[in-house]
């Protein structure tokens, strides 16, 4: 998938993106709230890119500044009509509307392709992400405890938000 506006591009990661990925994927203020594992070497970044089939680079002014993952929901299976999103953005781009624009672009594409519902899980104390989801039309659904294996150091909870998408093709048929 490749999506584009006048100012940004969402596209699959490329091998050449490893250094830019590494620049934000080892920042504790980025990876902690995003629930990501730190990437600390160019080799780890390259390996992440090589296996990242559901992750997409967020490119602004020709530079990779973040990522968005678009995953089939486990309960729905790979051919299902729902998806789950995960995202991270380099700190210097916070508060500039970049991730709002990315989510709007991705949601429009998912709607166009017939996806009916999109979910996102966030740590409840990640107020920036909670505000982003609400601002882009998501609704709080529930909060669950995470498995201890996923939360080194202390138990954590994850809040889930979702958005129902009305398929554009259905609207024109009515």
- Domains of the chain as residue ranges with CATH: 3-173 (3.40.630.30)
Under DSSP, is residue 158 helix (H, G, I), strand (E, B) or coil?
A: strand
Q: What is the pLDDT of residue 33?
A: 87
Find the helix packing angle between 127-135 and 98-112, rounded to 10°. Answer: 50
The secondary element (H helix, E strand) that includes residue 9 is strand 8-12
Model confidence pLDDT, tens digit, residues 107-146 = 999 999 999 999 999 999 999 999 999 999 999 999 999 8
Q: Residues of the chain with pLDDT > 70: what percent? A: 91
List residues bridging with 134 in a β-sheet: none
Tokens of 131: 């505000």
DSSP H helical ranges for 35-146: 42-51, 98-112, 127-135
What global pTM score does this model have? 0.91
Residue 36 DSSP one-character state:
P
Name the pLDDT band for 174 (thresholds 50, 70, 90).
Answer: very low
């Amino acid at each position: 998938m490749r999506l584009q506006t006048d100012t940004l591009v969402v596209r699959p990661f490329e091998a050449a993106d490893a250094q830019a990925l590494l620049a934000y994927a080892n920042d504790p203020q980025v990876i902690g709230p995003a629930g990501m594992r730190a990437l600390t070497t160019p080799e780890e970044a390259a390996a992440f890119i090589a296996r990242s089939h559901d992750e997409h680079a967020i490119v602004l002014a020709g530079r990779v500044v973040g990522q968005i993952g678009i995953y089939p929901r486990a309960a729905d299976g790979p051919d299902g009509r729902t998806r789950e999103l995960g995202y991270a953005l380099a700190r210097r781009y916070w508060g500039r509307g970049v991730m709002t624009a990315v989510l709007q672009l991705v949601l429009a594409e998912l709607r166009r392709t017939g996806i009916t519902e999109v979910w996102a899980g966030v740590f409840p104390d990640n107020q920036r992400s909670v505000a982003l989801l609400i601002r882009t039309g998501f609704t709080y659904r529930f909060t669950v405890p995470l498995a201890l294996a996923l939360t080194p150091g202390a138990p954590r909870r994850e809040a889930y938000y979702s958005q129902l998408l009305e398929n554009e093709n259905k609207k024109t048929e009515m």
